[in-house]
Structure formats: C-alpha cells, structure tokens
Amino acid sequence: MVGEVSEHPVKAYVLAIVKRGTEHEIAKRIRKLEDVAEVLIVYGMWDIVIRIETENLGKIDKIITDIRKLPEIEQTNTLIGA
C-alpha cells in the first residue's frame, strides 16, 4: 500500500533524458536528494540512471516528482522493484 512502511527498502531506477550538456550538473543536484542511493551518467538512449532506495512507494513518488520538476529533465522512465 502507498505510504506503508516495508521491512525491506523499495528500490526504483529512474532512467532520464536531460538537455544536452547538462548531465554532470543535473547528476550532482540529484545526488543531493534524500534517499537517492546512486546516480550514473550513461551513454545510449538514456543520459542518467538514478537508483532510489526508501521505505515506501509514497516516498518514491515524491522523489520522482521532484526529479521531474527539474527544467533540464526532458523525459523519464521508472522501474520499481520489490
């Protein structure tokens, strides 16, 4: 259930496309967000891969919403694992 605390962390991977040339700046800003475990700059279809680990889906939703509000983020795709 959304908002429910889990025994195990909920993990999400956010694949992001950003405006050209902003990869390093955006990665640095995203690394500062609470519960962001890892941010990688990658090559290919996606520019950045973000790993989030937190207690529940509600917190994941808030973090992803905050990431999507960044003006340099053009597109995201989220993968959630249990």
**41: amino acid identity, one letter:** I
Mean pLDDT of the chain: 92
**29: amino acid identity, one letter:** R
Report residue 9's pLDDT band, with 50, 70 and 90 as the boundaries: confident
- Per-residue pLDDT of 54-78, as tens digits, reads 999 999 999 999 999 999 999 999 9
pLDDT exceeds cutoff 90 at 5:
no
> In sequence order, which residues have a C-beta less than 8 Å from that of residue 55 and are 6 or more positions away?
5, 6, 9, 10
Its pTM stands at: 0.87
Share of the chain above pLDDT 90, in %: 87
Q: State the CB neighbour count (10 A cutoff) for residue 55.
A: 16
Domains of the chain: 10-81 (3.30.70.920)
DSSP for 38-60, written as a single string: EEEE--SS-SEEEEEEESSHHHH
Looking up tokens 């917190």 gives 59
pLDDT exceeds cutoff 70 at 33:
yes
